[in-house]
Structure 1
Amino acid sequence: MLGIHDLGLFIVSGLLLNIAPGPDSVLIMARSATQGWRAGSAAALGIGAGTIVHILAAALGLSALLATSATAFGLIKLLGAAYLLYVGAGMLLARGKPAAAAEAPPPPALPYRKIFAQGFWTNLLNPKVALFFLAFVPQFIAPDAEHKALAFIVLGAIFDFNGMLWCHFLAWSTAMASRRVRLPGRWTAWLNRAIGAMFVGFGLKLALAER
């Protein structure tokens, strides 16, 4: 169908690639651990929306520009790194509201729409995601396929759907684990800062990445 081959291998490979840790997974776990599974789900949906944009761009050939233009790749890379640094710095510097108790309260909750936007921009501004689709998906499309763009979109939709299954499971399992552990507010604040430091690390890594 549409020149797609080895669909089972594509699905399994896509699931394994989605499970691999990265900024997207860390964001989902951070929001789920501090605000519950709905917050993690909002981050996951934002990530899925960003992935859809990458898929459409790759199918239309726009992502090929990133693979051939050092200037375009460098610009997107710096924007993505700056955004990751911004998110990380915000988590590092977040403070709870003053309280009479000696124990420090956890950072204030973010609205779901802002968490969705974090997931969307974290995914969209990572040029390595675009290059990944250009390198991975065409391997499962026959060279003589009549509608390569449509086949690319179908495979991308399958990849994104499976990714959303994993991301929502990650959100739910992280939220359940954090509910059982019940960390004090002070520890939650430090966990938030630790995750913020990880985002700063991801941002620096992306800024220094080569094409």
Structure 2
Amino acid sequence: MSKILIVDDDKNILDLVRIHLTQAGYQVLKAENAIQALSILETEIPDLVVVDVMMPGMNGYELTKRIREKLNLPVLLLTAKGELEDKEKGFIAGSDDYMVKPFAPKELLFRIAAILRRYDKPRDAILRVGTVTVNRKSFEVSSGQSTLLMPLKEFEVFALLASRPNQVFERAEIMEKVWGFDYEGDEQTLNTHIKRIRERLVKIATDVEIVTIRGIGYKLEVHNQ
């Protein structure tokens, strides 16, 4: 069961969203402001945070920025503002999606489900594949005494492949889960990231290799030594 934190100073919105999310099978946490939300996040790690933009004190943009910096959790922003400039602020802060009030609860559920599909990644903090260890908290990849600090997207691609060694991931699946379903770039972006990961990986481990499955995608293969 996915856990969702709702942050909104409007109690009616809090209750409305809670009711619909609960009926949809989600576990729901509630906060009436950013300070309460940050306090909850010290002890609870939800799968997604729904944040209102216009709140007293710390606004939703700043809260989103903090959530992304500290926990890298997905965020969906709710706001009464629909101007392009406001949406831009939300995405710059790190939000994954943006909904304007009033909204249809059914559409909110669709958007939440889409975000959670994108973040259907390994939940374990530590992944071990052959001699390689992937630390999803520190974003480090290590083998023996050697440690790699990859750029975020490279790390996310590698962690996804490492979550299921020897399983083939289709290119479209990797693109959706790492860059998002609405990414407008081309597949060359993924090719470039795979190439760079391979160049880094070969420097620290010889028993783990990203293999291209022609016409389909990639898999992380483990060789016995």
- TM-score, normalised with respect to structure 1: 0.27
User: Relative to total residues, which structure has the larger helix share, 1 or 2?
Assistant: 1
User: Relative to total residues, which structure has the larger strand share, 1 or 2?
Assistant: 2
Q: Which has the higher contact order (CA 8 A, sep 6+)?
A: 1
